Amino acid sequence: MIEFNFEVLRRIGFNQFTASQLHTLEPAAAGARLMRLTEVQRSWFTVHDGIKEYKARALPRLLSACTLAVGDWIVAELNDSEELWISQQLSPANHIARLAADGQRLSIASNIDTALLVMGLDHDFNLRRLERYIAMVQSAGIAPVIVLTKSDIADNTVQRLDDIRQRLPSYIPFICINALSADAINELSPWLGAGQTICLLGSSGAGKSTLTNTLTSAHQETGGIRKGDGRGRHTTTARSLHLCPGGACIIDTPGLRTWRPDADEEALTSVFSDIELLAADCQFRDCRHESEPGCAVRGNIHADRLLNYHKLMRDAQRSQQTPLDRIAEKAKWKVLNRAGTKRSHDKRN
Ligand SMILES: Nc1nc2c(ncn2[C@@H]2O[C@H](COP(=O)(O)OP(=O)(O)O)[C@@H](O)[C@H]2O)c(=O)[nH]1
Ligand SMILES: [Mg+2]
Ligand SMILES: [Zn+2]
């Protein structure tokens, strides 16, 4: 088994679960080391051994078998020319994925303890989007925390917090912060324990990088002080992992707006458990809560929340189709559309 120093790797989020997975690795060459992926670029990666970062490339046979994501634990080996190569990936405890156009799941970040759903209290605020993010991270088995930024410049905060209380499950914590202020560190401290990995998700402009800067560059008077990564202000072009002075790891991501999140029906059911619960009292078992008589849901659930639930369910069902199913469905629609076009063409003439 590969040698490792628990205390050193702990600084970059190593935990008991990861340790328990090490036996699944193939025997590695002498000198091979366990490291964590901290940055993914098109053709190279940054890896961290708990003390410092290195640039590395990945063996083509590894890339053809898996996608590497920030937060992955990997095995890195030096070749004869002293170049560092990633040779193995430890299967992750969890990962946040998005769906590519062809239905393929692409990993965004892995081995995450808490997902911070970052949303501005300005025009960025959108409960539907928040529900979509919650569904996505709960599908991945990761705990969400709602982080509302720009509390210093928002003027309808009270109303928005009320909307959240009314609409979202009460077990999901939410906090309001000014991402530019060091006070944000205290607000987030329950999730920033040593060895914890948190991932920031949210649209572009929400304050993810600002928050990352605040959390990593602060000089806290706590034991085991370690500075941030010293890169100063950064713009996020790729996913990257940073260290907090208190010992937590933060993965910043670029905006998710155009990504199709990957959520399954089961997770949606748990995010919308209020709807499921009421539905048990609907007169019809397959009630769609639209215009059926004896519906127990309609009227008791925010109409917009119900719409979003239906939409996300449809998306989830669609994404559970195989690419072949999807092609067949598309072909079916093509034929139908063509028939429709022909009909209206015939009518016109
Ligand atoms: N006043 C105020 N401005 C913020 C806050 N959070 C972010 N900003 C500003 O919003 C803009 C976008 O922030 P950024 O962190 O780059 O967003 P990202 O795309 O989510 O990484 C920047 O100009 C920040 O200074 C906040 O809590 N209060
Ligand atoms: Mg950013
Ligand atoms: Zn109903």
Residue range 47-56: average pLDDT? 94
pLDDT band for position 223 (cuts 50, 70, 90):
very low
Pocket residues: Cβ below 6 A from ligand 1: 149-150, 152-153, 178-180, 202, 204-210, 236, 255
Lowest mean pLDDT among 58-72, 86-100, 125-139, 253-267: 253-267
The residues, ordered by sequence, that sit 6+ positions from 8 with a Cβ below 8 Å of its Cβ are 49, 50, 51
Q: Which of 220, 252, 284 is the last residue of a domain?
A: 252
Taking the CA atoms of the chain, what radius of gyration do you get in angstroms?
23
> Is there a single domain that holds both residue 126 and residue 182?
yes
Asked if residue 20 belongs to a domain, the reply is yes
Asked if residue 68 belongs to a domain, the reply is yes
> Is there a single domain that holds both residue 21 and residue 127?
no
The residues, ordered by sequence, that sit 6+ positions from 68 with a Cβ below 8 Å of its Cβ are 37, 40, 45, 58, 62, 74, 86, 89, 107
Ligand 2 centroid – CA 200 distance (Å): 9
Residue 58: alpha-carbon gap to chain centroid: 23
> Is there a single domain that holds both residue 210 and residue 233?
yes
CATH of the domain at 295: 1.10.40
Asked if residue 297 belongs to a domain, the reply is yes
CATH of the domain at 242: 3.40.50.300
Ligand 2 centroid – CA 177 distance (Å): 17
* pTM tops 0.85: no
Is 247:228 a contact under the CB 8 Å cutoff? no
| More confident of the two residues 236 and 33 | 33
> Is there a single domain that holds both residue 13 and residue 154?
no
> Is there a single domain that holds both residue 69 and residue 106?
no
Ligand 2 centroid – CA 79 distance (Å): 35
Q: Which of 89, 107, 140 is the last residue of a domain?
A: 89
Which ligand 1 atom is the nearest neighbour of the CA of 149? 27
> Is there a single domain that holds both residue 232 and residue 270?
no
> Is there a single domain that holds both residue 315 and residue 204?
no
CATH of the domain at 52: 2.40.50.140
> Is there a single domain that holds both residue 188 and residue 273?
no
> Is there a single domain that holds both residue 215 and residue 272?
no
Asked if residue 257 belongs to a domain, the reply is no
| More confident of the two residues 181 and 140 | 181
Containing 319, the helix (H) or strand (E) segment is: helix 303-319
Which residue has a Cα nearest atom 1 of ligand 1? 150
* All residues with CB under 5 Å from ion ligand 3: 282, 287, 289, 295, 297
> Is there a single domain that holds both residue 325 and residue 274?
yes
pLDDT band for position 220 (cuts 50, 70, 90):
very low
Residue 250 has pLDDT above 90, yes or no: yes
Ligand 1 centroid – CA 210 distance (Å): 5
Question: Whose atoms come closest to the Cα of 208: which ligand?
Answer: 1
Query: What pLDDT does residue 254 have?
Result: 77
What's the pLDDT tens digit per position in 260-309? Answer: 666 677 777 777 888 888 999 999 988 999 899 999 999 888 888 899 88
Give the 3-state secondary structure of 204-248: CCCCHHHHHHHHHHCCCCCCCCCCCCCCCCCCCCCCEEEECCCCC
Q: Which of 225, 252, 279 is the last residue of a domain?
A: 252
Residue-number span of the structural domain to which 35 is assigned? 6-89
> Is there a single domain that holds both residue 157 and residue 290?
no
Asked if residue 341 belongs to a domain, the reply is no
Asked if residue 231 belongs to a domain, the reply is yes
Residue 43 has pLDDT above 80, yes or no: yes
**Which own/partner pairs from 284-287 qualify as long-range (CB within 8 Å, at least 24 positions apart)?**
none
Asked if residue 342 belongs to a domain, the reply is no
Query: What pLDDT does residue 268 have?
Result: 79
Tell me how far apart the terminal alpha carbons of the chain are, to the nearest angstrom: 77
Query: What pLDDT does residue 231 have?
Result: 39
Asked if residue 349 belongs to a domain, the reply is no
> Is there a single domain that holds both residue 167 and residue 246?
yes
Question: How many separate domains does the chain show?
Answer: 3
